[in-house]
């Protein structure tokens, strides 16, 4: 049977959510073992309670230090790229070396097969320059995207990468590009462009109140940690007030921000806090459908 291997963080996850995930995401053999998974997830909650007593506030002791002069020079090439300027929010940021273990993460699942592919593509003992290229480069190999035309106005795109997304929708004058004459049945004047692709491949974190939350690059850092790497270069947004966290709410929830001992990267390597499961293979799919309506309005 074809399946994908995942590691599921269960220590901070409600039991009902664990049960729903096992029932709906796992292959049948795994779903049949639901009582065992629920029992282990309940034990994980007790483990977290122990961590609250022994490690409360440990996330604030995360070790960071400046990049070397050579690496600082490499960041200049990144910040001058227009795609970087367009993507990074208007908040102060800096590049620093950061301890992996104590990064706070909202990630609930590790895709283990993807991690293995990453590890095979990384050098065995990466140098500082190689870590920079892994974590901060703007160029990388992306998963191929397949396309299906469902009907005249609907296209379906799919990718093996969970990062596949709609980047934006923009109105454009037709003169800005060429159209095949075979496609034209009238006089084209305006167009709407839908851009599909991937997010900026820069490993990124947010620092606030001495806590550093990882918001991009989870699987790369997980793979590197599994290889024995302790510190990596990251782009860090500097937030001085927690009320400025609204752009990052999908990654920094109130629960995560206020928990006395939030989930850290190192917790994914603790078998008492995780479940290894076999899930039904899936691909990230985006359906693009064009609906148009014509009507009159008063001047």
What is the CATH classification number for the domain harbouring 105? 3.90.1530.10
Model pLDDT for residues 178-219, shown as the tens digit of each residue = 666 666 677 777 888 899 988 888 999 999 989 999 999 999
Q: Is 89 among the domain residues?
A: yes
Kindly give the residue spans of alpha helices, DSSP state H, lying in 32-156.
34-55, 69-79, 82-87, 112-121, 128-136
Domain that holds residue 257: 65-123+200-262
Helices (H) and strands (E) counted in the chain, each on its own, are: 9, 14
pLDDT in tens, 52-93: 999 999 999 999 999 999 999 999 888 888 888 888 867 789
User: For residue 94, what are its two tokens?
Assistant: 């800096």
**218 inside domain:** yes
How far is residue 232's CA from residue 46's CA, in Å, rounded to a whole number? 31
Tokens 């496609």 locate to: 183
* Number of other CB atoms surrounding residue 27 within 10 Å: 16
Which residues make Cβ contacts (< 8 Å) with residue 58, sequence separation at least 6? Answer: 102, 261, 264
Domain total of the chain: 1
253 secondary structure, DSSP code: -
Domain membership of residue 128 (yes or no) is: no
Rounded distance, CA 87 to CA 215, Å?
14
Structure tokens at 3: 């399946």
The answer as to whether 70 is a domain residue is yes
3-state helix, strand, coil in the chain (%, to 5): 35, 30, 35
Is residue 184 included in any domain, yes or no? no
Confidence at residue 15, expressed as pLDDT on a 0 to 100 scale: 86
Structural domain contains residue 96: yes
Asked if residue 235 is part of any domain, the answer here is yes
Q: With 0.85 as the threshold, say if the pTM is over it.
A: yes
């Amino acid at each position: 049977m074809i399946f994908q291997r995942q590691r599921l963080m269960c220590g901070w996850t409600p039991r009902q959510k664990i049960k729903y995930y096992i029932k709906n995401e796992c292959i049948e053999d795994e779903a049949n073992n639901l009582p065992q998974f629920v029992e282990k997830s309940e034990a994980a909650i007790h483990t977290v309670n122990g961590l609250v007593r022994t490690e409360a506030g440990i996330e604030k002791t995360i070790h960071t230090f400046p990049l070397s002069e050579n690496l600082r020079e490499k960041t200049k090439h990144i910040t001058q790229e227009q795609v970087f300027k367009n993507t990074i929010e208007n908040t102060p940021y800096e590049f620093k070396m950061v301890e992996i273990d104590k990064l706070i993460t909202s990630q609930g699942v590790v895709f283990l097969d993807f991690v293995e592919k990453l590890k095979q593509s990384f050098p065995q003992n990466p140098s500082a320059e190689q870590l920079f290229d892994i974590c901060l480069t703007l160029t990388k190999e992306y998963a191929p995207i397949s396309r299906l035309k469902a009907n005249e106005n609907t296209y379906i795109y799919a990718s093996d990468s969970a990062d596949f997304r709609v980047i934006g929708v923009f109105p454009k004058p037709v003169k800005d590009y060429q159209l095949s004459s075979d496609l034209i049945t009238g006089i084209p004047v305006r167009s709407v462009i839908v851009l599909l692709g991937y997010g900026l491949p820069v490993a990124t974190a947010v620092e606030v109140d001495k806590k550093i939350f990882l918001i991009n690059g989870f699987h790369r850092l997980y793979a590197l940690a599994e290889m024995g790497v302790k510190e990596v270069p990251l782009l860090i947004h500097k937030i001085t007030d927690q009320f400025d966290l609204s752009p990052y709410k999908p990654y920094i929830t109130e629960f995560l921000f206020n928990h006395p001992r939030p989930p850290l990267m190192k917790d994914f390597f603790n078998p008492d806090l995780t479940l290894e499961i076999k899930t039904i293979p899936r691909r990230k799919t985006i359906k693009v459908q064009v609906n148009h309506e014509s009507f009159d309005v008063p001047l």
